């Protein structure tokens, strides 16, 4: 299996994107039968990672991964950088047509300004996804690491290696893309449990989609 990496830059998602060099072809909605396509998003103002996987039963298959970068434009122009992220997310959705998205929940860190910037980038990602009528599930980095590596405090290099193994990739993806693929894998692990509870009628609006503290909308 060949790893696909798309790179979208501040020049704009169309100008800065590289066409997929491998992985699986995009599918039209309704053509995947029992397969669910999951888009993982690791938000960041400079670099937003994305990863797409297919889930057929318990089998996970790699589709594509890459990053949206905003570092090539005017760094002080925040609205323009957010537009690059927004347009990039919508282009990824149009290209790969996922059924659901999984986004990392971010927290306040020691730098309030950096937290504010990250929060705006994350909000931009979620807005782009819901504007495409995609359901959005949310998980913390700790939940993602636990689901992928079995250890919530795993190093990023461990996440990269486990993503490589779980998706049978020839090489480990870069960190941002690996985290995004990890978020997609996390939702793949969580969704069967949520669906089973929903079928039993034990989920309501408040608890639906909760996976060890995660959220789903």
The residues that are catalytic are: 42, 104, 176
Q: Rounded to whole angstroms, what are the CA distances from 60 to 26, 38, 39, 53?
A: 16, 10, 13, 7
Contact 143, 211 (CB under 8 A): yes
Contact 84, 75 (CB under 8 A): no
Number of Cα atoms under 13 Å in the Cβ half of residue 49: 21
What are the start-end ranges of the H helices in the chain? 13-16, 78-96, 112-131, 141-149, 156-166, 175-199
On the 0-12 / 13-18 / 19+ scale of CB atoms within 10 A, 171 is exposed
Q: Rounded to whole angstroms, what are the CA distances from 133 to 93, 106, 204?
A: 10, 22, 21
Among the listed residues 19, 14, 25, 144, the one whose alpha carbon sits nearest the alpha carbon of residue 84 = 14
Maximum distance among all Cα pairs of the chain, rounded to whole angstroms = 52
Number of Cα atoms under 13 Å in the Cβ half of residue 162: 21
């Amino acid at each position: 299996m060949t790893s696909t990496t798309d790179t979208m830059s501040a020049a704009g998602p169309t100008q800065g994107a590289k066409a997929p060099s491998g992985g699986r072809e995009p599918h039209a909605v309704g053509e995947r039968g029992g397969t669910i396509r999951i888009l993982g998003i690791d938000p960041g103002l400079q670099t937003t990672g994305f990863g797409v996987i297919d889930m057929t039963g318990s089998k996970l298959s790699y589709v594509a991964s890459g990053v949206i970068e905003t570092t090539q434009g005017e760094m002080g122009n925040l609205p323009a950088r957010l537009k690059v992220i927004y347009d990039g997310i919508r282009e990824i959705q149009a290209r790969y047509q996922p059924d659901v998205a999984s986004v990392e929940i971010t927290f306040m860190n020691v730098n309030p300004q950096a937290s504010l910037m990250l929060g705006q980038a994350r909000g931009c990602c979620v807005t782009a996804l819901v504007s495409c009528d995609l359901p959005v599930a949310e998980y913390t980095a700790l939940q993602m690491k636990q689901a992928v590596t079995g250890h919530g405090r795993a190093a990023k290099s461990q996440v990269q290696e486990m993503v490589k193994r779980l998706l049978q990739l020839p090489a480990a993806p870069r960190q941002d893309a690996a985290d995004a693929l990890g978020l997609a894998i996390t939702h793949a692990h969580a969704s069967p449990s949520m669906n089973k509870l929903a079928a039993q009628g034990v989920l309501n609006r408040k608890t639906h989609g909760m996976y060890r503290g995660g959220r789903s909308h």
